[in-house]
Amino acid sequence: MRLLTGLSLSILMLALAGCGSPRSIGDVLADPSQFSNRDIRVEGQVVQSYAVLGQGAYRLEDETGRLWIVSRTGVPNQGARVSVRGRVQQGFNLGGIIDLPGGAGSAVVMLESSHDLK
């Protein structure tokens, strides 16, 4: 029983470690495959924001870079400081739902699971 409890706690600790402290956007962009299929958190300021019918995308910036965040639950306003949880995906195609400037139609993006204003 102790072994099972210890193993369960170890797995929980590893899962929480992945999304605990925020990652820099520069780290995510430098090696997106490292973060693929893992929940992570990034923080920064919204520098662009586009919404259509409750969905959209926003560009998050920290001191290391800029990353597009795709949301199905609404987007924060430009200028807001946010903490975002989600999964990094490479080669994401917005499929004409929203046309983002800067050639982001097929790029590294984060698919948001939640965001909180800071």
* Cα–Cα distance measured from residue 118 to residue 100, given in angstroms and rounded to the nearest whole number: 25
CATH number of the domain that residue 96 is part of: 2.40.50.140
Residue 2 in any domain: the answer is no
Higher pLDDT, 79 or 94: 79
* Per-residue pLDDT at 85: 96
Residue 8 in any domain: the answer is no
Q: Is it the case that residue 88 has pLDDT exceeding 70?
A: yes
* Per-residue pLDDT at 46: 97
Reported as a single tens digit per residue, the pLDDT across 33-74 is: 899 889 999 999 999 998 888 888 999 999 999 999 999 988
Q: Is it the case that residue 14 has pLDDT exceeding 70?
A: no
* Per-residue pLDDT at 10: 47
Residue 93 in any domain: the answer is yes
Residue-number span of the structural domain to which 52 is assigned: 21-117
In the chain, the number of structural domains is 1
Residue 9 in any domain: the answer is no
Q: Alpha carbon of 42 to those of 17, 69, 91, 102: distances in Å? A: 14, 10, 19, 21
Is the pTM higher than 0.85? The answer reads no
Name beta bridge partners: 46: 60
Residue 14 in any domain: the answer is no
For residue 100, what pLDDT band results from cuts at 50, 70 and 90?
low
Average model confidence (pLDDT) across the chain: 80
Q: Is it the case that residue 13 has pLDDT exceeding 60?
A: no
* Per-residue pLDDT at 118: 86
**Which residues are CB-neighbours of 18 under 8 A, at least 6 positions away?**
38, 39, 40
